[in-house]
A and B are shown apart, each in its own frame.
Chain A
Amino acid sequence: MLNCRQVTRLVSQSLDAKLSWHQRLAMRVHLLYCVWCRRYATQVQFLRKATRELAAEAIDISAPKLSVGAKVQMRKRLQAALDTPPTAPQ
């Protein structure tokens, strides 16, 4: 019989790897009678969705921008690299 500490680990692991059939079975049996671990299982799925959503948002609205100075620097270095002919392989 697995305990809640073990089951939560397996639940999480099942999102990242394929569990063996006996791990899966033991986990499911536990989930049948344990409402807390069942909630844990739905909530980590929700976390996955929520994190993806966050990443999509982060790109356009609240993302920090490069300073003007940083851009000038970058352009300079890029230009310098463009002007230097590629060195012949040693």
Chain B
Amino acid sequence: MKNQAQSDSLMMNFDERQRLASQEPETKLPVADPAPVLDPEGWVEKYGDILFGFAASRVRDHSIAQDLVQETFLAALKAKAGFAGRSTERAWLFGILRNKLVDYYRLQGRETLFADLEWPLPEEETAFFSSGLGKDGWVKRLAPKAWETPDESLVSKEFQEVLKQCLSRLPEKVTQTFLLREVDGVPSEKICKDLEVSPNNLWVMLHRARMGLRRCLEVHWFDKRRHK
């Protein structure tokens, strides 16, 4: 199961997929069957849960996640002829789902994107002095502290729970964009194009996400460790 999960994360990593796509056949990929065949009747059983799990990690409303999976299956059926067998059935379906997600973000973005950008980010507003001698310098109390980051903290269940909580505190749109960039590794230019936002808006949004997450992790994880 662990390997499965890892291959999913790799698969959803844009850079990785680009790299694989550009690889010549001489570097052999561990592909089990030479010519993958589509089997629409088994899709819901085989991929329903993993696709839904992925969608639900990207949109907070589970009924929307469910609709997106349904749409993915229907779209896949229509595009069946276009499945060239270059990827596995599973990777192909994930690709379609990702496009559905981006479409959904874009539609949703028309209404909420600018509201989110006006979201007063407490971290950036208060982390720096707004006037006086130290204007735009860190307020000492809120400035980054040294973190003890042993590698195992990344995989500890507790840490991941805190990180998830912190992600869920950001506006949904900001989290979505952040995950698209950080987890899927989609290049900024592509995100701008897909979501119809300017590079500047994108950078501001990502920076705010990072400021917010950084502070949240510091308070709810690293500070607590220190005091133990």
Contact = CB atoms under 8 A, between A and B. Distances in A.
Nearest to B11: A59
Nearest to B81: A86
B227 to A, nearest CB: 19
A28 interface: no
A34 to B, nearest CB: 8
Nearest to B57: A58
A13 B135 contact: no
B206 A16 contact: yes
Interface residues of A, number: 49
A82 B57 contact: no
Interface in A24-67: 36-37, 39-40, 42-44, 46-61, 63-66
Nearest to B5: A60
A15 to B, nearest CB: 8
Interface of B: 1-2, 4-6, 8-9, 12-13, 40-41, 43-45, 48-50, 52-54, 56-57, 62, 66, 69-70, 73-74, 77-78, 124, 128, 135-138, 143-147, 149, 154-155, 159-160, 163-164, 167, 178-179, 181-183, 188, 199, 202-204, 206-207, 210-211, 213-214, 217
